[in-house]
Amino acid sequence: MRRTAVKKIFGGVATNHELAKKYSINPRTVTNWRNEGCPFDDGQWAVLDWLARRRYAPVGANAKFAKQLSERKARALCATIPRAREASGLARALRVAPPPG
């Protein structure tokens, strides 16, 4: 069976090798990321958003997508700051509030 026929049958699901080449990572990394819930099926933007939320990006992916990752990391950080302020304000209010009763 030809590769194009297989892709038609399976709906164009990208292989680990194809994704590894696209994101400049190791095929084993693709397998690990799939197990961790990386949204490869949702497209490149979703993958880059997911990757920006991680602690670090692999060297190849970071080199290839440096601009997009830095923008997404900054956006993710800005989104967490108000939540942190709210959480610290709530913790402060709980410390200051007199005990019920």
φ, ψ of residue 61 to 5 degrees: the values are -70, -40
Structural domain tally of the chain?
1
In a domain, 66, yes or no: yes
Residue 20 lies in a domain: yes
Q: Tell me whether residue 68 is in a domain.
A: yes
Banded model confidence at residue 8, pLDDT cuts 50, 70, 90:
low
Residue 96, amino acid: V
Residue 14 maps to a domain: yes
Residue 54 phi, psi dihedral angles, 5° rounding:
-80, 165
98: alpha, beta or left, given left = phi > 0 and alpha = psi -120 to 50? beta
Is 83 a domain residue?
A: yes
d(CA 59, CA 61): 6
Place 99 in a pLDDT band, splitting at 50, 70 and 90: low
Residue 101 counted as domain residue:
no
Q: Which domain holds residue 65?
A: 3-96
15 CB-near residues (< 8 Å, 6+ apart): none
**pLDDT tens digits for range 70-87:** 888 888 777 777 665 666
